[in-house]
Amino acid sequence: MALPRLKYHLLALAVVAVWGVTFVCTKVLIAAGMEPAGIFAIRFILAYLGIWIFSLTGSGRVRIWSACFKDEMVFLMLGITGGSFYFLTENTALAYTQAANVAFLVSSTPLLTTLFTLIYKKFGKGRFARGLEEVRVGLPLIGGTSLALAGMAMVIFDGTRLHLSVQGDLLAIGAALCWAFYSLFMGQMTRDYGAVFATRKVFFYGLVTILPFLGSCTGSFSPAVLGRPEVWTNLLFLGLIASLACFIVWNYVMDKLGNVSATNYVYLNPVFTLITAMIFLGERMTPLAALGSAAILAGVIWSGKSLNPHAAGS
């Protein structure tokens, strides 16, 4: 791994570490009486206000619209797949099934992203197809993916019994599909428009498309709920750190590393979720879970050898 690219890998690792914490934060908010759509809306309102403040304090004129209507519609699609529908399906899944199930199923995103990339590179045309990473199907890709998936299973299901919830598990799979689709196009849009503008568009269209789901979210906007310290502190973390800061950094990293290389770090989500549970919930990491964590990291490194490091942005 070349030293100039190392910083992008470290940034990806840091973002995934923060996102691993969000499963616990969301569970706390749902337990406090907030609804999944309401959690997303408040989270993205905070992030959207924050990114506008960041944009207005910068130098130069703030751009409002994309270069063409087609690109504006791409941002609408990204706001849905990386914003409203992704978080609505993930948050709702947490209300119906175990956090372990959700973490495992959502962490299948790298595998789905790789499959989508292979298909789109073969059959797609234009700048989006050209901007995707070149993925070589071989032992590193197959072996690394298998090792990472096996590691996830060891981390998540060690010492627990799997309880299936069809509705919750299908919603979690839907979230993984949304983020994999988002990963196909966001890197190129960041390359074309810059990370701040592209992220601001995702926040805007995410908020617009969640509006139809807010009618029944009375608990999420109740002063009695929002005034609780565990509620507003978690919302601030989700909005300003996990959304505002992490989305800008992640979109930038996808441009620099490529959509598959960056998304592979999502395999580590369950590890950071487990670490968070150890710190705040008093859970312990068993030897099998530690072995699984090592297997995930090894799998990410191994599968990365199947990628062309010069296929994405510079």
- In tens digits, the chain (314 residues) has pLDDT values of 444 678 898 999 999 999 988 888 888 898 899 999 999 999 999 999 999 998 888 767 889 999 999 999 999 999 999 999 999 998 888 777 766 667 777 877 888 888 889 889 888 888 999 888 887 777 877 888 788 788 877 766 665 545 556 777 788 889 989 999 999 999 999 999 999 999 999 999 999 999 999 988 888 888 999 999 999 999 999 999 999 999 999 999 988 888 888 888 887 887 787 777 677 766 666 777 778 777 877 877 777 666 654 444 43
Q: Round to whole Å and give the CA distance between 293 and 173.
A: 22
Provide CB contacts within 8 A for 237, sequence distance 6+: 21, 25
Residue 73 lies in a domain: yes
Of the candidates 48, 94, 84, the residue with the CA atom closest to the CA atom of residue 201: 48
Q: Round to whole Å and give the CA distance between 83 and 197.
A: 15
Per DSSP, the three-state class of 55 is helix
Residue 29 lies in a domain: yes
Q: Round to whole Å and give the CA distance between 291 and 30.
A: 31
Residue 272 lies in a domain: yes
Residue 117 lies in a domain: yes
Residue 314 lies in a domain: no
How many domains does the structure of the chain reveal? 1
Residue 312 lies in a domain: no
Residue 35 lies in a domain: yes
Give backbone dihedrals phi and psi of 139, rounded to 5 degrees, phi first. Answer: -60, -45
pTM of the model: 0.83
Of the candidates 306, 191, 192, the residue with the CA atom closest to the CA atom of residue 260: 306
Q: How far is CA 159 from the centre of its chain?
A: 26
Domain coverage including residue 110? 3-306
Which bin fits 158, alpha (ψ -120 to 50), beta or left (φ > 0)? Answer: beta
Residue 311 lies in a domain: no
Are 50 and 244 in contact, with CB atoms under 8 Å apart? yes
Q: Round to whole Å and give the CA distance between 94 and 114.
A: 25
